Structure 1
Amino acid sequence: MLTGVSPYHFSQLQFDGSNLYWVEEMPNEGGRNAVVCFDCYGQTAPITESPYNVRTRAHEYGGRSYVVHEDTVYFSNFADQRLYRQKRGEDPIPVTAPGPLRYADMVFDARHRRIIAVREDHRVSDIHAETTLVIIDPQGDEYGTPWVSGHDFYMHPHISEDGSRCAYLAWNHPQMPWDGTELWLADISSEGELINRRHITGSAADAILQPTFSPGGVLTFLSDRSGWWNLYQWVNDDAQAVFPAPYEFGMPPWVFGMTSYGYLNEDRILAVYTDGGIRHLAQIDVKSRSLTEWHLPYTYFDSPAVRDSGHAAFIGASWHSPVAIVNLCVARGTSEVIRPSQVAPMDTRDISVPVFQPFPAAESQQAFMAFYPPNNHRFTGPDHELPPLIVISHGGPTSTGTPLFSPAIQYWTTRGFAVADVDYGGSSGHGRAYRNRLRGQWGIVDVDDCTRAALYLADQGVVDPQRMVIRGGSAGGFTTLACLTFRDVFRAGASYYGVSDLAALARETHKFESRYLDSLIGPCPEREEIYRERSPLFHAERIHAPVIFFQGLDDKVVLPEKSQMMVEELRHNHVPVSYIAFPDEGHGFRNADNIERAIQAEWYFYSRILGFPLPEPIEPVAIDNLP
């Protein structure tokens, strides 16, 4: 059940005329990304074919990696990071020259027949790569021509429909874009030059996101100046709230091109927002400052794209069905799936639907989690036993849990585990004050909240306190290892490419995150003693619970040798430990076979540590030091 099935991942929806395009990740093709088109005749077909992989390495996490104009797709190819152009049924043609440069966040300037993009130049240095906005000739251009420079980072350039103005975001180290950004606005001359360029709003304490222009040219953006990411319009040199509310209309931009709203017409906006951990889709009336929610059969919404006042599309999911591309008929208020990610591989009677609940955190505060009880209609646990618990610590750490149908979570709940997906202090989706709880406290608040979530559920009598484990990837892997190091609550843990040496992460990671830890811990090396104090690698002798490690050997964010050092420390300390490496994976696994191998290995590991029999044969995992 739920093995051998890897749902396609969708992102980057955009219309070109009546045709809808998106990027589709295909785990059964090694995680290759393809641009796919749903045309005006109702036909769906990929535009880019193997071996082309539509993915940029800008910021390492990538994001918006293509743009479409007049049926021509311009995309970044992962293997060489060059830009290509391609029409349906034709071969791709290189646009940019070979070289250590990366392109992202492309927009097409129709008035001047050119592409505007964020360029990351690695010719001199990786960790100090130079980021600029560049102009690219779509017919062929060596590396593009710098258009805007001077800041450490740029994101989300947007050009008004008449081509007369450009807005973009900029920020500098040590800020992250969810801490604070600057919104810049400029006029574009008839020759295509930027004139009257000015910083209009945004600061180190105001994170501006997703600037765009309305059909009539009103600059619109998200700002969290109120404590929540709300929509604003720039009118008469002032930011005016469109619909002020304690909702999050934005999420931290870990990747380029994230969108949560679009104009249906001058007076109506289609927007996604988060309230209480749940995503909603709504229509906002700009004149009346009112919001009307769309009541559709989904509990998760993402990446809305608007074609015109009557038609839009979004990524949707529910607790009972995985993500899909959904077409929205605005006039009728109806929706239709145009691209499912998979046929649900399980009986709906087995799906565990979570309960979102707060739980007590330190200092009389509260944190949040989604609790999934075990559920399998064919099996019932012994009357005298409580289920084991898996606590999930999400990555980021400025991110959130998984508020939608997740095969990875259902894998565990159908096998008798309860799951707690924890939004510890510092998570997104709950306002800026909650996000700021992790400032200076990474390795403290997250560890405390994940531990308290487990103990809270044990105190409620819904899970077995003697069979609680924790798992997480990347930053969540750090929290997992820190919980095992500095707390004595969990019987075992699984670290997926987890951080174990915080100072090494600050020194060796890529440019985008190279100063991230300034806010999460403190400046390095000035506060290096705190980095060492919170790093599991330097306190591995305190880990007594068994741990299984998963690591991609092409990981440029968490270097493989750090995971290998943790494994050697546990081996030396006679702690049961397993290590599985995937040579063809980076930071996050994309290959379907590797994803399946990892989760089955984790299940096998827990069966040996917690002492339960497996109902089906699974390839064994070598566990060193297991009695």
Structure 2
Amino acid sequence: MPQPLISPYGSWKSPITADLIVAGTIGLGSIVLDNTDTYWIEARATEAGRNVIVRRTTDGKITDLTPSPFNVRNRVHEYGGGSFTVKDGIIYFSNFSDRRIYQQTPDSQPQALTPVADSHYADGVVDSQRQRLICVREDFSNSSHEPVNQLVSINLNNGEDIQILASGCDFYASPRLNPDGSQLAWLTWNHPNLPWDGTQLWVASILEDGFLGEAQLVAGGVDESIFQPEWSPNGMLYFISDRSNWWNLYRWHNGEIEPLYGMEAEFGLPQWVCGMSTYGFQSANRLICTYTEDGNWYLASLELQTKQLEVIETPYTSISSLQVANNRAVFIGGSAIASTALVEIDLTTDNITVLRKSSELEIDKGYLSIPQPIAFASENNLTAYAFFYPPQNQDYQAPPTEKPPLIVKSHGGPTSSTSSTLNLKIQYWTSRGFAVLDVNYGGSTGYGRAYRQRLKDNWGIVDVDDCTNGAKYLTAQRLVDGDRLAIAGGSAGGYTTLAALTFRDTFKAGASYYGISDLEALAKDTHKFEARYLDGLIGPYPARQDIYKMRSPIHFTDKLSCPVIFFQGQEDKVVPPNQAEMMVEALKNKGLPVAYILYEGEQHGFRRAENIKRTLEGELYFYSRIFGFELAEAIEPVMIHNL
């Protein structure tokens, strides 16, 4: 092997290009098992972000089922999820453009089931006895009020026959039929709660006319988050609750709630989208589940009579979308050295089969940075967590006295988390000579309810402190260059980015992806799901308007003294473009280097391949001009004002 070339950090030529990332990668999600077939959704950046249902039969044949221009997606709770289900070979899916539900078999074209209406549908379950689909509907028909959420039934023989089964709460999710079809369980929550704050689990009998009898509250409330109710094959109701501080497994039987396995680990997730799943039943006596502990995910079996938990060994540190049926478990798994893949485990032999990879790219490990989980001290004598990625490229090394520039990543949500799964967008940076710190700041999930609630009333403080202290920790350890510290994030992570750049003096540059600069504007102009989110993160509005202004970077541009690049979708309803544009104008007027790239046709998050490529390369170009290093490859320049 030739000796590595000596070249400054940031100037290393990498085989992990933006073209390679967008052309060779698909998004995998929303697994459905029907008899012996496996269905899932692929999000394809090369098809303008279109979501396609794909089927794999037992003979290994993989087939696309969703013809163009259909796009299997919905906007229930704005973020969607749970966009299709399958029963005995018949597929029911939500189409994004016209918001209708379609039905289809693998051998036929989609046929519209529901009429044209200003409604979105999600989280469907087929009620075979009554020939109907039960699902969540979000109705936007009354434009003068926020949309109305309900549980509805849709007649599979006459899609115009839609009946309301439950209404009156602000939000509904997870309708689940018991095995004999006599009972329905579901979740609700109301403003100002989000589903990770407090939800309620209900059960009702189904009457002869198909409507629901009197609903019984099983568990939950304003201070208890219930996640994923499921009926076991023998008719007991299971669910996940954080009543112990950790999202653990419980079951309800004969009116009593029984804990299954107490553990300082998270079996649940923040319910940002519909249809999320972390467990399923192999049999009435055995449950297959996933949980996260210290930032890594595990697969396990839980014997329901003895309550013994046993880890099922896999090479994966990230496991999601678990579905279980017919002695097989199917999930999306990833690790630090392998892109996510659709994986099947034979539960009788523990044999693992990769059904589909998110990327067929085979990248030499010599170009991959292995994340190192770190813990570091932050404010108030508390500990924060992150994954540290040192620069790695087998073809290069930096001059001996040089320290690498650092990009601190602040994830979105803010109630979310990052993981150690191979992320080519991170490796894009590390293989060019950047260090990356991916922070699970206070408020992140995976570390218990108390850690999640550190952000209560403290958004813009705790998250900023943790990101800042992470950068300071690495600087003190002499692992990075303290004069070349950048911070980047999207959505809520974009707010953390802008707040850190405005209210702290640690960072020298930043990149905001559809980030928030004016909290007051966000409180006035966002969608229903998050309309009261800020009540818990900051305080009630307008009663605490003073705090909203005090923590909004747009009002303190005089404190901002470093360059920023902004990326924004023109059709973003979560964080409208005016949020970025106000900040850009303020920076222009102040004479600071600033760049702004607006994408037509994009919403909250970028789905088109050309825009994902432009964003990666644009951010790299921006840093090259700000930090003063030469690029190893030609990149389309970005207009940087005041430079």
Scaled to the shorter chain, the TM-score interval is over 0.9
Q: Report deviation, 1:127.
A: 6.0
| Residue 591 in structure 1 maps to residue 615 in structure 2 | no
Q: Report deviation, 1:624.
A: 0.3
Q: Which amino acid aligns with 2:132?
A: R
Q: Structure 2: how far apart are the matches of 1:562 and 1:449?
A: 24
| Residue 39 in structure 1 maps to residue 88 in structure 2 | no
Q: Structure 1: how far apart are the matches of 2:259 and 2:83?
A: 31
Q: Which amino acid aligns with 1:312?
A: A
Q: Structure 2: how far apart are the matches of 1:257 and 1:334?
A: 26
Q: Which moved more, 1:33-42 or 1:341-350?
A: 341-350
| Counterpart residue number, 1:84 | 102
Q: Structure 2: how far apart are the matches of 1:563 and 1:142?
A: 42
| Residue 578 in structure 1 maps to residue 591 in structure 2 | no
Q: Report deviation, 1:286.
A: 1.2
Q: Structure 1: how far apart are the matches of 2:583 and 2:114?
A: 42
Q: For 1:397, which of 385, 406, 414 is the aligned residue?
A: 414
Q: For 1:562, which of 552, 555, 579 is the aligned residue?
A: 579
User: So what's the TM-score if we normalise by structure 1?
Assistant: 0.98
Q: Structure 1: how far apart are the matches of 2:195 and 2:237?
A: 19
| Counterpart residue number, 2:80 | 62
Count of residue correspondences: 625
Q: Report deviation, 1:418.
A: 0.6
Q: Report deviation, 1:46.
A: 1.1
Q: For 1:436, which of 446, 453, 459 is the aligned residue?
A: 453
Gapped runs of 5+ residues in structure 1?
none
Once superposed, which parts of structure 1, at least 4 consecutive aligned residues long, lie more than 4 Å away? none
| Counterpart residue number, 1:227 | 245
Check whether the contact 1:496–1:549 (CA below 8 A) recurs between aligned residues. Answer: yes
Give runs of aligned pairs for residues 193-592 of structure 1, distance below 5 A. 193-308=211-326, 310-592=327-609
Q: Which amino acid aligns with 2:433?
A: G
Check whether the contact 1:182–1:203 (CA below 8 A) recurs between aligned residues. Answer: yes
Q: Report deviation, 1:77.
A: 0.5
Q: Secondary structure at the match of 1:169?
A: strand
Q: Structure 1: how far apart are the matches of 2:586 and 2:505?
A: 18
Q: Structure 1: how far apart are the matches of 2:51 and 2:371?
A: 31
- For the structure 1 residues 439 and 126, does the alpha-carbon distance in structure 2 shift closer, same or farther, using more than 3 Å as the test? farther
| Counterpart residue number, 1:12 | 30
Q: Which amino acid aligns with 1:373?
A: P
Q: Which amino acid aligns with 1:555?
A: D
Check whether the contact 2:563–2:594 (CA below 8 A) recurs between aligned residues. Answer: yes
| Counterpart residue number, 1:606 | 623
| Counterpart residue number, 2:638 | 621
Q: Which amino acid aligns with 1:70?
A: D
Q: Report deviation, 1:441.
A: 0.2
| Residue 164 in structure 1 maps to residue 182 in structure 2 | yes
- Per-residue CA deviation, residues 227-255 of structure 1 (Å, 9 max, x unaligned), is 00000000221211111100100110000
| Residue 183 in structure 1 maps to residue 201 in structure 2 | yes
Q: Which moved more, 1:45-54 or 1:296-305?
A: 296-305
Check whether the contact 2:485–2:506 (CA below 8 A) recurs between aligned residues. Answer: yes
Q: Report deviation, 1:345.
A: 4.6
User: So what's the TM-score if we normalise by structure 2?
Assistant: 0.96
Across the aligned residues of Structure 1 and Structure 2, the Cα RMSD in angstroms comes to 1.0
Check whether the contact 1:550–1:579 (CA below 8 A) recurs between aligned residues. Answer: yes
Q: Which amino acid aligns with 1:283?
A: S
| Counterpart residue number, 2:4 | none
Q: Which amino acid aligns with 1:449?
A: D
Q: Structure 1: how far apart are the matches of 2:329 and 2:299?
A: 12
- For the structure 1 residues 482 and 143, does the alpha-carbon distance in structure 2 shift closer, same or farther, using more than 3 Å as the test? farther
Q: Secondary structure at the match of 2:213?
A: strand
| Counterpart residue number, 2:43 | 25
Q: Report deviation, 1:167.
A: 0.3
- For the structure 1 residues 572 and 141, does the alpha-carbon distance in structure 2 shift closer, same or farther, using more than 3 Å as the test? same
- For the structure 1 residues 39 and 127, does the alpha-carbon distance in structure 2 shift closer, same or farther, using more than 3 Å as the test? farther
Q: Structure 1: how far apart are the matches of 2:389 and 2:606?
A: 24
Q: Report deviation, 1:288.
A: 1.4
Q: Which amino acid aligns with 2:547?
A: I
Which structure ranks higher in relative contact order (CA pairs < 8 Å, sequence separation ≥ 6)? 2
